[in-house]
């Protein structure tokens, strides 16, 4: 991978001297960014460009070539790649467009490219991207003339869309945030975000990684990489709704993935998911400052109104604003011209025109052990206070570094002055107290988050894998879902607390089994084709006598007669009626992007009406399972409201882990619903009453 960023020599293929040739721009960018290696231009028309020869064919280039950059019409690409292979080139960036994003037929072209690449063990980025940038060595490969304002720094960017990538570069240049590496990944045919992310996590120059993705190549690997990354990873994942699916397909052929799963997976991996451009830039700004280590802020504002706005934002994001010590305030009170301000935190310095005093206040404040960071809000007119204000901003940066605490500076000034500050200062400038506070919140989130990653709970749990495998195989061979009793057996073999049950295929059997289990009983249809057994009348509860059982049995038989699929092999399941508890709903599925995913919610219509569910990608350990319970909106219900006792949370944790184990061990289980898991008071465990398992076809 390193060669994609640190080639000693680059050949740009598709260059000519005609006015609208785009390959020429690449050569031009390399020269303007002072690329430290050799540059060869290649194009069938030959000629001379910038005083250098254009070679008609790649084979004619005299030296060795580390990296080929291809920008020729799509149909020519397989041939050109083959020439590259023959020349001994092992890395290429294909910037040409017109592949699968254009038409289905063109997908075939991609196949040809892949075949050529495999033949030569050649890795390539693209097609349909705009190229790489490495600010360290001046490798600048986009085919449009690039902004020279880009500064070398520590933020690296992987973008699935060239246009969005360019926008990022523009915003970063405008905020004077330094860039390290940039990749426009295009159709991700050979090298994808995971390959590049893996490289950047180890890359010495990169400290923060920012991804723009429209689709995921392999969500699971992405999660594993991010959760192991010591560097912050921000992800801007678009293409979330049905209406954008169409354009994404036509653009970079992204497949739509379930947005909820994506949200959960990113969160679980410790990635920061950002929603829009402004959020990305706002977060990247704070990343250039020392990390916030606690939630205690000092807010210093020149305007009372801005202080109020900042206090609202601090309250929204859960920051604490410790009072300034009395002695401290007395020290500074003498600087005020007219005593029209009372001092507190937020500190409203409206009356203080002496800016060096601001710096003293900041220094005294950052020294304090009960302050983790500061928000400084300053408004000025350049005409009057340019010098002092700029000096103060510089001092704020010095103090921030000295005390290793972030100082978010929010400035209200004329456009020109803001532009000047952004261009000439490395201190990030925020334009509203809300955005500054939001950024500080993110900084703290990185300090605090404990990423479990995709780790199963260690230790042996008594499970009977063979028994489960046998049940699944039987159903799979018959090409049918699992019967209710089989599903419950599977869960039983994995240590789930399953309610005592028995099957019956005749009334006599049912009465016998009823006698054995003991009344009151529940009677259910065992056949799984009817998804909502309860709704269609396939469940009878509270049967107190054999007579009740008989009536219920007949009713299920009548029901079965109406549905041929149910009638054939008619079977009922008897269960001992369970005690009332809190109904929990658990489920899982194999997700195309992330593999096994589990979900948890509270029954009693909370899931259906409020959509209150928590997802995780499996496997999870105990800590992650606990965090699922903490995240549910209805947590109060589980903790006990209105004098009710708390539910057995550990029983839920245990069940979540077993569910995670089961779906991880048996990918052939496509979907599973456990509804309900009845959970009792703390210490009294739970019981699975019903389950539905669907197998992969």
Nearer residue to a copy of itself within complex by CB, 233 or 321:
321
Two structure tokens written together for 254: 């992204």
Largest CA distance in the chain: 101
Q: Distance (Å, rounded) from C-alpha 194 to C-alpha 200? A: 10
Piece of the chain touching a copy of itself by CB under 8 A; list 35-43, 160-168, 283-291, 501-509: 160-168
Residue from 21, 132, 156, 161 in contact with a copy of itself (CB under 8 A): 161
Q: Which residues contact 276 (CB under 8 A, 6 or more apart)?
A: 236
CA 163, CA 316: separation in Å to the nearest integer?
34
Candidates 187-195, 244-252, 654-662, 689-697: pick the segment binding a copy of itself (CB under 8 A).
244-252
346 forms part of the interface with a copy of itself (CB under 8 A): yes
Among the listed residues 5, 212, 266, 600, the single contact to a copy of itself using CB under 8 A: 212
Could you tell me the smallest distance in angstroms from the CB atom of residue 264 to a copy of itself? 18
Residues in 76-105 at the binding interface with a copy of itself, rule: CB under 8 A: 97-98, 101-103
* Residue 326 burial class via C-beta count within 10 angstroms: exposed 0-12, middle 13-18, buried 19 and up: exposed
Q: Answer yes or no whether residue 3 interacts with a copy of itself by CB under 8 A.
A: no
| Site residues (CB under 8 A) for a copy of itself, limited to 557-616 | 604-606, 608-610, 612
The DSSP code for 76 is G
Burial category of 383 from C-beta neighbours within 10 Å (exposed 0-12, middle 13-18, buried 19 and up): exposed
Residue 526 three-state SS: coil
Lay out the site mask for a copy of itself across 128-157 (x = CB under 8 A, - = otherwise). Answer: x---------------xx-x-x--------
Q: Is 172 in the site for a copy of itself (CB under 8 A)?
A: no
| 341 binding a copy of itself? (CB under 8 A) | yes
Task: Select 47 or 305, whichever has its Cβ closest to a copy of itself.
Answer: 305
Q: How far is CA 201 from the centre of its chain?
A: 16
Tokens in use for 370? 């009960």
Q: Cβ closer to a copy of itself: 102 or 425?
A: 102
Q: Is 415 in the site for a copy of itself (CB under 8 A)?
A: yes
Kindly state the smallest distance separating residue 577's Cβ from a copy of itself, in Å.
20
Tell how far CA 263 is from the center of its chain.
6
- Dump strand ranges (E) for 240-321: 272-274, 297-301
240 binds a copy of itself (CB under 8 A): yes
Comparison of 278 and 696: residue with beta carbon closer to a copy of itself: 278
- Measured from the CB atom, the residue of 423 and 461 that comes closer to a copy of itself is 423
- What part of residues 485-544 is at the interface with a copy of itself (CB under 8 A)? 532, 534-535
Span 40-69, contacts to a copy of itself by CB under 8 A = none
**Binding to a copy of itself by residue 645, rule CB under 8 A?**
no
**Judging by DSSP bridges, how do beta strands 233-237 and 272-274 pair with one another?**
parallel
Q: What Å distances lie between residue 649 and 160, 190, 580, 622, CA to CA? A: 42, 46, 16, 11
Q: What angle do CA 475, 481, 652 make, to 5 degrees?
A: 105
Q: Which is nearer to a copy of itself, 238 or 476 (CB)?
A: 238
Q: Pick from 37, 294, 350, 453 the residue near a copy of itself by CB under 8 A.
A: 350
Nearest distance in Å: CB 342, a copy of itself: 4
> Least distance to a copy of itself from the beta carbon of 251, Å?
3
Radius of gyration of the chain (CA): 32
Among 63, 75, 305, 683, binds a copy of itself (CB under 8 A): 305
Kindly tell me which of 102 and 120 has the beta carbon lying closer to a copy of itself.
Answer: 102
How far apart are the C-alpha atoms of 280 and 292, rounded to whole Å? Answer: 18
Alpha carbon of residue 22 to chain centroid: 35
DSSP 205: T
User: What's the chain's length in residues?
Assistant: 697
Chain residues 10-29 in contact with a copy of itself, contact rule CB under 8 A: none
> Distances in Å between the alpha carbon of 453 and those of 139, 198, 220, 271, 589?
35, 16, 11, 11, 19
Is residue 381 near a copy of itself by the rule CB under 8 A?
yes
Quick count: other Cβ atoms within 10 Å of Cβ 295?
18
Closest approach, Cβ 661 to a copy of itself, in A, equals: 30
Of 134-142, 449-457, 545-553, 634-642, which segment contacts a copy of itself by CB under 8 A?
634-642
């Amino acid at each position: 991978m390193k060669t994609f960023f640190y080639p000693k020599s680059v050949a740009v293929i598709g260059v000519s001297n005609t006015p609208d040739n785009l390959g020429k721009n690449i050569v031009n960018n390399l020269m303007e960014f002072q690329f430290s290696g050799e540059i060869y231009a290649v194009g069938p028309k030959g000629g001379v460009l910038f005083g250098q020869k254009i070679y008609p064919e790649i084979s004619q280039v005299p030296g060795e070539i580390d990296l080929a950059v291809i920008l020729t019409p799509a149909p020519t690409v397989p041939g050109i790649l083959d020439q590259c292979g023959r020349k001994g080139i092992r890395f290429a960036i294909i910037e040409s467009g017109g592949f699968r994003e254009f038409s289905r037929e063109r997908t075939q072209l991609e196949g040809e490219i892949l075949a050529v690449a495999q033949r030569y063990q050649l890795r390539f980025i693209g097609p349909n991207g705009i190229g790489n940038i490495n600010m360290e060595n001046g490798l600048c490969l986009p085919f449009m003339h690039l902004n020279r304002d880009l500064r070398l720094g520590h933020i690296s960017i992987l973008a699935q869309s060239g246009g969005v990538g360019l926008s990022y570069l523009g915003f970063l240049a405008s905020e004077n945030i330094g860039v390290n590496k940039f990749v426009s990944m295009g159709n991700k045919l050979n090298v994808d975000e995971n390959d590049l992310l893996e490289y950047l996590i180890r890359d010495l120059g990169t400290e923060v990684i920012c991804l723009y993705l429209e689709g995921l190549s392999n969500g699971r690997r992405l999660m594993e990489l991010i959760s192991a990354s010591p560097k912050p990873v921000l992800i801007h994942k678009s293409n979330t709704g049905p209406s954008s699916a169409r354009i994404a397909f036509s653009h970079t052929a992204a497949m739509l993935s379930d947005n909820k799963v994506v949200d959960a997976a990113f969160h679980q991996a410790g990635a920061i998911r950002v929603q829009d451009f402004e959020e990305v830039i706002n977060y990247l700004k704070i990343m250039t400052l020392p990390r916030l280590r606690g939630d205690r802020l000092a807010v210093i504002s020149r305007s009372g109104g801005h202080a109020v706005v900042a206090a609202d934002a601090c309250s929204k994001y859960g920051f604490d604003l410790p009072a300034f010590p009395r002695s401290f305030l007395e020290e500074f009170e003498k600087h005020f011209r007219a005593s029209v301000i009372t001092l507190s935190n937020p500190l409203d310095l409206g009356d203080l025109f002496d800016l060096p005093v601001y710096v003293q206040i900041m220094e005294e404040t950052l020294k304090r052990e009960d302050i983790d960071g500061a928000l400084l809000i300053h408004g000025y007119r350049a005409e009057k206070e340019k010098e002092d204000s700029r000096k103060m901003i510089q001092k704020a940066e010095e103090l921030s570094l000295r005390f290793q605490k972030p100082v978010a500076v929010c400035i209200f000034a004329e456009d020109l002055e803001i532009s000047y500050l952004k261009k000439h200062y490395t201190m990030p400038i925020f334009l509203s107290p809300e955005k500054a506070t939001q950024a500080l919140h993110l900084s703290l989130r990185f300090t605090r988050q404990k990423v479990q990653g995709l780790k199963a709970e260690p230790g042996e749990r008594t499970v009977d894998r063979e028994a489960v495998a046998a049940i699944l195989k039987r159903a799979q061979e018959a090409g049918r879902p699992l019967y209710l009793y089989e599903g419950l057996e599977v869960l039983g073999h994995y240590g789930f607390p399953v309610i005592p049950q028995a099957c019956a295929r005749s009334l006599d059997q049912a009465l016998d089994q009823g006698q054995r289990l003991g009344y009151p009983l529940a009677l259910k249809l065992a056949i799984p084709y009817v998804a909502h057994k309860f709704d269609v009348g396939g469940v009878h509860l509270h049967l107190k006598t054999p007579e009740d059982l008989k009536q219920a049995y007949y009713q299920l038989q009548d029901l079965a007669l109406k549905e041929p699929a149910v009638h054939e092999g008619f079977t009922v399941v008897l269960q001992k009626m369970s005690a009332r508890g809190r109904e929990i709903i658990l489920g899982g599925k194999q997700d195309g992007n992330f593999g096994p995913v589990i979900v948890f919610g509270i029954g009693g219509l909370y899931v259906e009406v409020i959509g209150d569910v928590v997802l995780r990608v499996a496997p999870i350990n105990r800590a992650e399972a606990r965090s699922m319970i903490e995240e549910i909106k209805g947590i109060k219900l589980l903790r006990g409201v209105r004098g009710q006792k708390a539910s057995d949370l550990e029983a839920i944790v245990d069940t979540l882990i077993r569910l995670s184990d089961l779906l991880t061990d048996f990918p052939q289980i496509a979907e599973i619903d456990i509804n309900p898991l009845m959970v009792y008071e703390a210490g009294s465990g739970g019981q699975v009453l019903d389950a539905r398992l669907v197998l992969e076809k």
